[in-house]
Amino acid sequence: MTGFSAVSVSATLLAYHHRERRGPTIVFLPGYASDMAGAKALALDAWAAANGRAMLRFDYSGCGESPGEFETQSLAQWRDDTLGMIDEVVEGPVLLVGSSMGGWLMLHAALARPERVLGLIGIAAAPDFTGWGFTEEEKLTILSAGRLEQPNPYGDAPTVTSRAFWESGEAMRLTHAPIAIDCPVRLLHGQRDPDVPWAWSLRLTELIRSPDVRLSLVKDGDHRLSRDSDIALLTATVADLMEQLDP
C-alpha cells in the first residue's frame, strides 16, 4: 500500500490514513491479524469521503504497514496504539467501529476515554476470545510452546497466536461483570459466523450499561460481513448513529 502517513505514538511508529472532515471522527479498529486495507475499512472510508465525514484507519503495531514483529505484540499494546491514535492524531469526539477483535479493543477504549468516545459499532465483536475461542489443548500448546499455528480460512499464511498475546488477553477480559459504558452502541453479527458465536453479541447487550444498545442479526451472514449487503447495513448503521450524534 502507498500513500499512508506515519506517527510516533508512545515511541511506537504507526501507519495511518486520516481525513479531517466533519466529526465525530470515525475510527476503524481491525480484527486480529488484519489491517486498515481490509474490505470493510476501505468501504467505510469511501462512504466517509462521499459524505464529508472525518475518518481514521490505522495499523496496529506489527500489522500491515506499521513496523514491529507480529508475534511480540499483545492486546494491551494494541489497546495503547488505539488510545494513542485517539489522543495524538484525532481532535474532538470519535465514533469507534470495531471488527471482531477490534470490537474488544473498542470497549477498552470507551472505558478509558469516555469523554471522547460518543458511540460504538461492533461487527462480530469478539471480547474475551482468549478465554472461549480456544480449546484446553490449544491453550496448553500456547503456554508450553509459546505459540499456536492454526489454518487461516481467510488467507494462505496460518493464523499464529503467541503466548504474549494470549496472556495479555486473559488479563483484559471484560465479560465477567457489567461494562460501564454509557454511549450508544450498535452491534452487527452474522448468525452463520463460524468464528464468533452471535450469542456473544447478545451477551454484550446485557452487560453494557448504556440503555441505548441495539443488535442487528444477519441470518445468512458470516464472520466477515463484507458482502455488498453487509457493507450497506454497516454504512446505514453508521449514518443513522452519526445523525443521532450530530449536534
100 is an active site residue: yes
Annotated catalytic residue, options 34, 66, 223, 230 = 223
| Average pLDDT of span 211-216 | 98
pTM here is 0.95
Band of residue 10 on the pLDDT scale cut at 50, 70, 90? low
Band of residue 54 on the pLDDT scale cut at 50, 70, 90? very high
pLDDT digit string, tens, across residues 64-111: 999 999 999 999 999 999 999 999 999 999 999 999 999 999 999 999
Handedness of CA 226, 232, 234, 235 (dihedral sign): positive
201 is an active site residue: no
Residue 233 near residue 224 (C-beta atoms within 8 A): no
Annotated catalytic residue, options 35, 81, 128, 193 = 193
Task: Report, in angstroms and rounded to the nearest whole number, the Rg of the chain calculated over CA atoms.
Answer: 17
Q: Using DSSP, state whether 51 is helix, strand or coil.
A: coil
Band of residue 140 on the pLDDT scale cut at 50, 70, 90? very high
The domain ranges of the chain are: 13-245
For 99-131, the DSSP string reads ETHHHHHHHHHHHH-TTTEEEEEEES--TTHHH
| Average pLDDT of span 49-73 | 96
Band of residue 188 on the pLDDT scale cut at 50, 70, 90? very high
Which top CATH class is 13-245?
A: alpha beta
Output the pLDDT for position 1: 39
81 is an active site residue: no
| Average pLDDT of span 121-138 | 97
pLDDT digit string, tens, across residues 151-181: 887 777 899 999 999 999 999 999 999 999 9
Annotated catalytic residue, options 34, 100, 168, 201 = 100
Handedness of CA 72, 74, 76, 81 (dihedral sign): positive
